[in-house]
């Protein structure tokens, strides 16, 4: 049985809730999960997502049409589509050993995953970190490890920033994966990979942990094509 304990954060495209999952009759078997519920996208945001979708195919052409014309049915479908895409991305990256939340299940527009945090308190985003350069340098190494794992599997995160990286007990965990892109077959793949590199390198460099975005990009390209 699942009980909603509260909201973690409302976002532009989804809201994240804290869920307690209990096994009836066995109070010891209780776990805390994060439920990410996608909202039907606003019409004005609707076409922005198309860049990520190139090369991906929706099986039923009636659904594809409904999604592309932005009807309310289409937007509902799109929300489910994002939840499913994120579940798949988490499953794939988790099985490869990348530091991402363990995906539990997907049901319509809701994705259930491991809650990253202490008790009921979510781990802070890297963006809120007040660490000094020596500690930040350790976190940068972990971010680069995550980016390398994505690249080795052929992917760019596609929306990587210090807001989509959590720091839990000194470990970096990447979240918010629905738009993960195939870096080679997607026509925007390398641009998105490059943008991830720039976002990360600039953020760390501003905090006196020097990181060259082009070197990082070159490093990931060798992972991608090896």
Binding site for ligand ATP (CB under 6 A): 8-9, 11-14, 16, 34, 36, 101, 113-117, 122-123, 125, 163-164, 175-176
d(CA 156, CA 150) in angstroms, rounded, equals 6
Binding mask 106-145 for Mg ion (x = CB under 5 A): ----------------------------------------
| CB contact burial 96-127 (16+ within 10 A = b; e otherwise) | eebbbbebbebeebbbbbbbbbeeeebbebbe
Stretch that binds Mg ion, among 76-84, 109-117, 164-172, 217-225 (CB under 5 A): 164-172
Nearer to Mg ion, 82 or 224 (CB): 82
**E strands, the chain, where?**
2-10, 14-23, 26-38, 103-107, 110-114, 117-118, 121-122, 155-156, 165-168, 171-174, 181-182
Nearer to Mg ion, 74 or 162 (CB): 162
Question: Could you say whether residue 176 binds Mg ion (CB under 5 A)?
Answer: yes
Question: Could you say whether residue 164 binds Mg ion (CB under 5 A)?
Answer: yes
List residues with catalytic annotation: 159, 176
């Amino acid at each position: 049985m699942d009980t909603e304990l509260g909201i973690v954060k409302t976002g532009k495209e989804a809201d994240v809730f804290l869920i307690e999952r209990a096994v009836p009759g066995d109070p010891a078997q209780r776990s805390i999960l994060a439920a990410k519920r996608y909202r039907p996208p606003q019409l004005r945001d609707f076409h922005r997502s198309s860049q990520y979708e190139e090369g991906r195919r929706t099986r039923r052409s009636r659904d594809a049409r409904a999604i592309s014309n932005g009807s309310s049915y289409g937007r509902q479908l799109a929300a489910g589509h994002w939840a499913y895409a994120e579940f798949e991305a988490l499953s794939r990256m988790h099985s490869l050993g990348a530091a991402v939340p363990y995906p539990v299940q997907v049901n319509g527009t809701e994705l259930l995953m491991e809650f990253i945090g202490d008790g009921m308190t979510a781990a802070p985003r890297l963006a809120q970190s007040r660490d000094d350069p020596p500690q930040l340098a350790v976190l940068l190494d972990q971010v680069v490890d995550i980016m390398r794992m994505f690249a080795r599997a052929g992917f760019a995160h596609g929306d990587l920033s210090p807001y989509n990286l959590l720091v839990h007990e000194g470990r970096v965990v990447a979240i918010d994966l629905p738009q993960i892109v195939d870096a080679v077959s997607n026509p925007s793949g390398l641009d998105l990979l490059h943008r991830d590199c720039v976002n990360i390198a600039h953020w760390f460099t501003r905090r006196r942990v020097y990181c060259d975005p082009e070197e990082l990009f070159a490093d990931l390209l060798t992972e991608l094509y090896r």
